[in-house]
């Protein structure tokens, strides 16, 4: 295990109680394990409306994969695993969901008083997705300062070990961002599953809550149904991205990185 070259002075930070939404046990799990599950916090009607808004974006993204050269590095594979980012840029339902009271309360509890949406994307695993998505940290794709931000993995359908729920490597978030290498399936920070790897099965309407520094992976979809998730990531206002190429940039694009908490 090696640290990312930009990870030179990492120290874990987390707001103290009292909390608006989470329990002391959940706060401790986030601090010590790097993740917890917030069970069934979204109503079926909310999920149905959100899924109806997201599904056409997934269909279009899957169709667009026909135009991707087979030799071009990609984490998406047509008719298997489909990604579509920045839906909030032109979908009012997604934009409103990013400000859902449950999500903004999580942001206050785990980040602080000024928080922006950093990233949003759907990730659908269709039946027959046989390969896993490798062990990685979200901050390993694009290095963000401060290194720790919040990932909310919203289950639109039930997710468990049979169809690709998240697995985490407990406690490894405390090392900060690790070095990642590219594989044909995506960036990877761990060559294999840690002995203490833990699955996070989630029912539809639940949220797998974890740090951008928590190594995680998802397994294959061995079922006959599509596993649907919508991932929203939140960072402190003022966060800066360090792309692998190009200049540093503030994470404050008003079309997709808007404030969701402004309590100052």
Per-residue pLDDT tens digits for 2-52: 999 999 999 999 999 999 999 999 999 999 999 999 999 999 999 999 999
Domains and CATH numbers, the chain: 26-66+74-262 (2.60.120.620)
CA separation for the pair 177, 149 (Å, rounded): 11
Q: Nearest CA to 140 among 130, 149, 132, 128?
A: 149
How many other β-carbons are positioned within 10 Å of the β-carbon of residue 263? 10
As a whole number of angstroms, the distance between CA 48 and CA 42 comes to 10
Decide if pLDDT at 73 tops 80.
Answer: no
pLDDT at 67 (0 to 100)? 87
pLDDT, tens digit, 9 for 90 and up, residues 109-164: 999 999 999 999 999 999 989 888 999 999 999 999 999 999 999 999 999 999 99
Contact criterion met (CB below 8 Å) for 113 and 261: yes
How far apart are alpha carbons 34 and 50 in whole angstroms?
Answer: 27
Query: Model's pTM, two decimal places?
Result: 0.96
Specify the pLDDT at position 70: 73
Report d(CA 46, CA 205) in Å as an integer. 9
- Condensed to tens digits (0 to 9), the pLDDT of residues 191-246 reads 888 999 999 999 999 999 999 999 999 999 999 999 999 999 999 999 999 998 88
Check residue 131 and give its pLDDT.
87
How many angstroms separate the Cα of 206 from the Cα of each of 64, 111, 117, 192, 237? 30, 20, 19, 27, 26
């Amino acid at each position: 295990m090696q640290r990312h070259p930009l990870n030179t002075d990492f120290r874990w930070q987390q707001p103290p109680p009292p909390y608006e939404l989470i329990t002391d046990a959940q706060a401790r799990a986030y601090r010590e394990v790097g993740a917890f599950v917030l069970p069934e916090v979204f109503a079926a009607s909310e999920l149905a409306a959100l899924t109806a808004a997201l599904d056409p974006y997934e269909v279009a993204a899957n169709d667009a994969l026909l135009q991707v050269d087979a030799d071009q590095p990609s984490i998406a594979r047509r008719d298997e695993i489909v990604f579509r980012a920045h839906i909030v840029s032109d979908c009012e339902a997604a934009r409103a969901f990013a400000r859902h009271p449950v999500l903004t309360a999580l942001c206050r509890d785990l980040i602080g008083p000024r928080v922006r949406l950093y990233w949003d994307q759907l990730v659908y695993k269709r039946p027959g997705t046989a390969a896993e998505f490798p062990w990685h940290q979200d901050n390993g794709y694009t290095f963000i300062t401060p290194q720790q931000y919040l990932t909310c993995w919203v289950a639109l359908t039930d997710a468990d070990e049979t169809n690709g729920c998240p697995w985490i490597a407990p406690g490894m978030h405390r090392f900060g961002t690790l070095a990642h290498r590219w594989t044909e399936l995506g960036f990877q920070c761990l060559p294999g599953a840690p002995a203490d790897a833990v699955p996070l099965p989630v029912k539809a309407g639940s949220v797998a809550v974890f740090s951008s520094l928590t190594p995680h992976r998802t397994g294959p979809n061995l079922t006959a149904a599509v596993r649907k998730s919508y991932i929203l990531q939140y960072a402190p206002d003022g966060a800066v991205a360090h792309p692998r190429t190009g200049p540093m940039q503030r994470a404050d694009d008003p079309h997709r990185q808007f404030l969701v908490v402004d309590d100052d």
